[in-house]
Amino acid sequence: MLWLYDPFTMIALMLAYAVGFVVMMSMAALIAPRVARGFSNRFALKSSMIIVGLLAAASSIAGICLVAYLLTSYFGAALTLDFVAAIAVFVLLANLFTYLISPFMINLFYGAKHSEDLQRIVNEVAAKLGVNRPPKAMLVNSPPNAFAYGNILSGRYIAVSRELAGMLSEEELKAVIGHELGHHIHRDNTIMLFMGILPSIIYYLGVFLIRAGLVSSSVSRLTSRRRDNASGGFILVIAGIAAVALSFIVQVLVLAFSRLREYYADTSGARASSPLNMQRALAKLHLYYEGSSYAREAVSASKLKTLFIYAFTETVASPFYHYKTPPRIAWERVDIDEVIEELKRREVNSVQEFFSTHPPTPKRLRFLDTLTMDATAPR
């Protein structure tokens, strides 16, 4: 529809997308392989999260300040401040509304039911990790996965799919629950909510710059104003394209931050049971999705992929996904420890990882190898 009433903005946005895509692919090909190293200890993991988080925040603030400076030159400080504040409030309220309503929607669409047996395990894991008020344990209808969700209105939940509960031993299930409880302990849902706001603000400001620049240039030509006014509009368009491209780069940093939070949650899963049981659970999930084309193809559009314990390469569980026949794996015949060793030897696709919310399974397995039982969960 944008083509019909605003074709020039659409063309500018396509150019911005192209610039952003080229920059991101260059980063993925040249930078990601050099910085995507394993973590040797807990300090390195925490330091990496701080650095990436600060870099995303600093890039966002710099981008917003640059846009505000350009707008001030054309519309004045008062109007610019009002507009930037309006964009920020709009994005914040939209994300906050989604955050508040999502637990109720998840419970509805996933057919979430409280499970006393699962609650017992959640309570045991919570006690081991020092959590005084355990989240409510829910069984959901979906391909094998688990996730943590909730807020101050709904309370906190940990959901495990019935398929996953049937795949794992109790110790492996404790590791998975520990991972999800780690997300609650680290307040990952809230942190990622606000991290996701940053690129959105830059994006919408960039779109406004593009439109403001196009309107300014058109008015200048129609009213025969000075040429420098028209060139000023062109500068706004270029700045808007740069801002949209920057929003993509910030989003890449947010994705990197999300992957680090998954490693962080894995430390809690390892402490809840053991690093080996955390590895076994991840390996079983990987084996399931690797053997199910239905699961990989039909669930890629889920809006909740950042919540899941296994979501690499868009392989996530969706409440709208009714898969045909899931792969039936005779787990008693599978040497899962041998599978773990084979997965750890696999090379990972750095470009694919670059655009994912979750680290690839081989890297998570290798990371868990570095943990010791006295340092598996940051306190």
| Torsions phi, psi for 330 (to 5 deg) | -80, 90
Report pLDDT for 318: 34
Active site residues: 180
Strand stretches in 29-131, DSSP E: 113-114
User: What tens-digit pLDDT sequence spans the chain (379 residues)?
Assistant: 444 445 666 666 677 667 666 666 665 555 555 555 544 455 577 787 888 888 888 888 888 888 888 778 777 888 888 888 888 899 889 888 988 999 999 899 889 999 999 999 999 999 999 999 999 999 998 888 899 999 989 999 999 999 899 999 999 999 999 999 999 999 998 898 888 898 989 988 888 888 887 776 665 555 555 545 555 677 788 888 888 888 888 888 888 888 889 999 999 999 999 999 999 999 999 888 876 555 455 445 554 545 555 544 433 333 333 334 455 676 677 788 898 999 999 888 777 777 788 888 999 999 999 886 544 444 4
Cα separation, 261 vs 53, whole angstroms: 11
| 99: its two tokens | 């955050």
The reply, when asked if residue 114 is annotated as ligand binding, is no
| 39: its two tokens | 């973590």
The reply, when asked if residue 183 is annotated as ligand binding, is yes
The reply, when asked if residue 179 is annotated as ligand binding, is yes
Report pLDDT for 321: 35
Contact call for residues 10 and 3 (beta carbons, < 8 A): yes
Run of H or E residues at 125:
helix 116-129
Report pLDDT for 313: 41
Report pLDDT for 3: 44
